[in-house]
Structure 1
Amino acid sequence: MEVYRVLLYNNPNIGLYARADSELLLLPNGFPAEKGRRLAELMGCSLLNMSIAGTRLLGPLLVMNRHGVLVSWMADEDELMILRDAMPGRVVERLRSRVTAVGNLLAVNDRGAVASDLLGPSEISQVEDVLDVHAERMTVAGFHQVGAVIAANNSGALIHPLASDEELSRISGALKVEDVDRGTLNGGVPFVSSGIVVNDRSALVGSKTTGPELFIVSKVFKGG
């Protein structure tokens, strides 16, 4: 697993602006073309420029795995069509929910999902149908925003430093990964998904991420 320290929009909170899996790196419309191509090359995947709800905040407004994509209810039809055209064979839907920040309430990989306890039965059912995984409802370290405090690929998960042993065990089981550990990014930020974009090949982390933090990232996110 290669790990690269980067800035997006001169901001180390790179997970606010991007999402990735093994096929695609999603970056906002208007992102510098050459830098976007270079980042996609580092991630070992293709590049897709897009918006959600006309914004560049892709991380909080979208989750995806190899089966499907769930976006905020605020996404417009043109944005859904861009995703469907780029991901033939995947189900792409708006999450039918009053919540906006889908990415803050779900942590997913190709094998499972951890879902906020703020999501009700009908929302969980849609998550499971679209992503074709079982979703485990829980809080982590007292936070309902499980997607903000977990970053995952198909081999591991990095989790808020105050998560309990029981929570680590549940997350490991839900995502079907063995390598789970507590950590921070960008020099102590516990909301780990804001500081990382990860797939099964590589990870981009915020430029303020320290050496000890990089060590944990490399240990947890082995090739999936």
Structure 2
Amino acid sequence: MNFGGMSNIGVFISVTEDYAIASSLIKDDEMKEIEERLGVEVIKTSIGGSLLVGSLVCGNSNGFLVSRYILNSEIKLIENKVNIKRFPDRMNACGNVILANDTAAVVHPEVSDRSIRLIARFLDVDVYRGSVGGYKTVGTAASVTNKGLLVNPYTKDEDFELLEKIFDIPIGVGTINFGSPLVGSGVITNSKGYLVGEETRGPEIARVEEVFQLI
């Protein structure tokens, strides 16, 4: 799949178990495929006027954190369906700096203490600072659901072990879009299904299915 000719589909969508907040760039037939493959209701919008919704939103079953630059009109559109809250940190690209499921979250090392408390309270998760495979933008370097965590090949053994302890789910190593280590930017997944960028090859798809237990 690609959106607007781009295979980094994760920058356009943020998905949880029941909802997907998706860029208004996405066409109706693409929205239907997302709903069918992931079993979610899609909310099409922009965030602060930007189409890169996946980079600016992060959520779990408790709701979505959104960039502090979100417009009031966009808030009204989203909150009619699902709980949302502005993320006050100067590092406002929530989807890039937060990696979260329903039990835990890892965040960019420079996210403030105040923001960490907000994440913990709003998403109802334990929060840890860290990096994945040398990337501080943990949301781009990994993808997590309640069933599995996919990290890139540059992830060190000590980071792998820490992530395994934090999330307490199976972890696997892989790439997306023909070798890209930015797996969080190229895959959209929850416990019910997945979508990958169109450049993703067969072995990479097999790894996604294995790690997220979607075989």
Task: Confirm whether residue 109 of structure 1 aligns to residue 101 of structure 2.
Answer: yes
Equivalenced residues, count: 214
Q: TM-score, normalised by structure 1?
A: 0.91
Match of 1:31?
A: 26
Letter in 2 for 1:102: C
Mark the runs of 5 or more structure 1 residues left unpaired by the alignment. Answer: 1-5
Given that 2:7 and 2:186 are in contact with CA atoms closer than 8 Å, whether structure 1 keeps it comes out as yes
Structure 1: how far apart are the matches of 2:162 and 2:72?
Answer: 36
CA RMSD in angstroms comes to: 1.3
Match of 1:82?
A: 77
Structure 2: how far apart are the matches of 1:28 and 1:40?
Answer: 14
Mark the runs of 5 or more structure 2 residues left unpaired by the alignment. Answer: none
Match of 1:204?
A: 195
Given that 1:114 and 1:175 are in contact with CA atoms closer than 8 Å, whether structure 2 keeps it comes out as no
Which moves more between the two structures, 164-173 or 189-198? Answer: 164-173
Which moves more between the two structures, 140-149 or 210-219? Answer: 140-149
Task: Tell me which of 41, 45, 50 is aligned to 1:50.
Answer: 45
For 1:86, what is the secondary structure of its paired residue? coil
Structure 1 position 30, deviation (Å) = 4.8
For 1:114, what is the secondary structure of its paired residue? strand
Given that 1:108 and 1:175 are in contact with CA atoms closer than 8 Å, whether structure 2 keeps it comes out as no
Structure 2: how far apart are the matches of 1:42 and 1:68?
Answer: 21
Question: What are the superposed Cα offsets for residues 108-132 of structure 1, whole Å, 9 maximum, x if unpaired?
Answer: 0011101111112111111101100
Question: What are the superposed Cα offsets for residues 62-100 of structure 1, whole Å, 9 maximum, x if unpaired?
Answer: 00001121111111122222221111xx3x211111113
Q: Relative contact order (C-alpha < 8 Å, sep 6+): which is higher?
A: 1
Among all aligned residue pairs of Structure 1 and Structure 2, give the percentage whose two residues are the same amino acid. Answer: 28
Q: TM-score, normalised by structure 2?
A: 0.94
Structure 1: how far apart are the matches of 2:142 and 2:30?
Answer: 27
Task: Tell me which of 167, 174, 179 is aligned to 1:183.
Answer: 174
